[in-house]
Amino acid sequence: MGQIILLVAIALFVAQAINFALLLQERNRLDLTSQTAPGVYRIADALDNRGERRGDDRPRARFADNPPPLNGQRRSDVENRAAAMFEDIGLNVRSIHVVQDNERLPMRRWERFRRHEGGGGSVMHTVGRLVMAVEYEPGKWVSTQIRTGSRPQRFGGWLIAQTGILYVIVLLPLLWVGRRLARPLGQLTRSAEQFARTGAADPVDERGPGDVRQLTTAFNAMRSRIFLMLDEKDRMLGAIGHDLRTPLASLRVRAESVEDEGERARMSETIDEMNRMLDDILSLARAGRSSDPMQKVDLSALADAVVEDFLELGSPVGMADSERAVGNVRPQQIRRALRNLIENATVYGERAHVSVAREDGAIRLIVADDGPGIAEDRMEEMMEPFTRLEGSRNRDTGGAGLGLALVRAIMTEHGGSLRLANRAEGGLEASLILPG
């Protein structure tokens, strides 16, 4: 909204600048006419009354057989305007010469009154003087003098005041309307971004102009319907999980009755794998709907605890010395994400190297391995559900392909990301990037 107000302000300024240019042009034309008209009138009057002399009048124009001496700055603009005025009144002249100079003259009574200067005496001031000489016949000249005056220029200040008034009248109501629009729209935008980032969103206050209220009402209705659908999905998944775990538990009991120890062990491993797969599927489906509270956690200590768990099981995992890095996270989810990355590193990359680092205001939990890495064109594909680097679907070479998909879902819920990159020295580096 601020950009719209700025554009309106710029548009008003440009419009006022154009208006100023047009008014200034018209003012200059009127000033030129006011300077030229007295001289044209005097000369035209003198030419019309040649030979007549009234004793009570001082001659306002002088006739001569030679061009009068003209000293000063030539005014071609006045000459052109005078020629046009002579043509308008039907008076043909051969040539016109106009010059301007300045001289010190007594200030007239009306000029002193206009300047609020009272008192007697002669007040001198500098005024402009135009000398206009016209050749009306070959070798015949008539000339006159005109005082141009010294009226102070107040046009610019008036225009600035007008522009300020226009800004107040137009921009203040626009700013008020803009704030009424911007507040609910800003809240709506934040709620939509929150929903896209975490899968949860606060309801938006239904306020503002009618169209904005209708938009907010529609958004709140959509939000409520989506939440109802998600709740129904969670209940359905909970029921599926419960219904599937019951036969799995029954299969485990029956597997214990198998006399062949090797067959019994394989059946137990299959049941355990099905339980893990079921847990991953349910966790992935419920991503973004976690009920665990956010906590301030030292992620270096959390990563060290996860590594210790793997070391107790004899897994080839190492933890580098890392500085303390506190983040606001859901600890159980971060543990699960880190465990998935370490399991992938030990299965596909022989050994896992874990470290924690701060980078550009973010916290990185890094799990590197010594394996073959992943082709660059398959990096994004590997984070999709049910995608495995090894496509045989052999249970001995990997899981169901849900690990990285679940990790990315957990990172998205935390406002972070999962980054995969091949190491220059060989192997893959998987990073959990969390806001610092």
What is the DSSP code string of 278-338?
HHHHHHHHTTT---PPPEEEEHHHHHHHHHHHHHHTT--EEE------EEEE-HHHHHHHH
**Three-class SS state of 140:** strand
147 within a domain of the structure (yes/no): yes
- Give the number of other Cβ atoms within 10 Å of residue 433's Cβ: 19
Bridge partners, 418 (sequence order): 432
89/107 Cα distance (integer angstroms): 33
Distance CA 122, CA 108 (A): 9
Domain annotation covers residue 162: no
How far, in Å, CA of 126 to CA of 275, rounded? 105
pLDDT 10s digits, 399-430: 556 778 888 888 888 888 899 999 888 889 99
Does 200 reside within a domain?
no
Residue 171 lies in a domain: no
Residue 326's nearest CA partner among 299, 287, 358 is 299
Choose the final residue of a domain: 131, 152, 173. Answer: 152
Phi, psi for 416 (deg, rounded to 5): -115, -155
The whole-model pTM stands at 0.49
Sign of CA dihedral 99, 103, 105, 111: positive
- Of 102, 129, 152, the position where a domain reaches its end is 152
Query: At 409, which CATH number?
Result: 3.30.565.10
* Domain stop point among 101, 119, 152: 152
Angle at which helices 261-285 and 210-255 pack, to 10 degrees?
170
Strand partners, 16: none
**61 and 43 Cβ atoms separated by less than 8 Å:** yes
Tell me, yes or no, whether 263 lies in a domain. no
The contacts of residue 315 (CB under 8 Å, 6+ apart) are 342, 346, 352
Q: Is residue 31 part of a domain?
A: yes
**pLDDT, tens only, 171-194:** 788 778 777 777 888 888 888 887
- Pairing outcome for strands 326-329 and 124-137: unpaired
Looking at the 3D structure of the chain, how many domains does it have?
Answer: 2
Note whether 73 and 100 are within 8 A (CB): yes
Q: Which residues of the chain have pLDDT under 50?
A: 55-56, 392-395
How far is 420 from 233, CA to CA, in rounded Å?
31
The β-bridge partners of 419 are: 431
Sign of CA dihedral 185, 190, 193, 195: negative
State the pLDDT at residue 55. 47
Q: Which domain holds residue 392?
A: 292-435
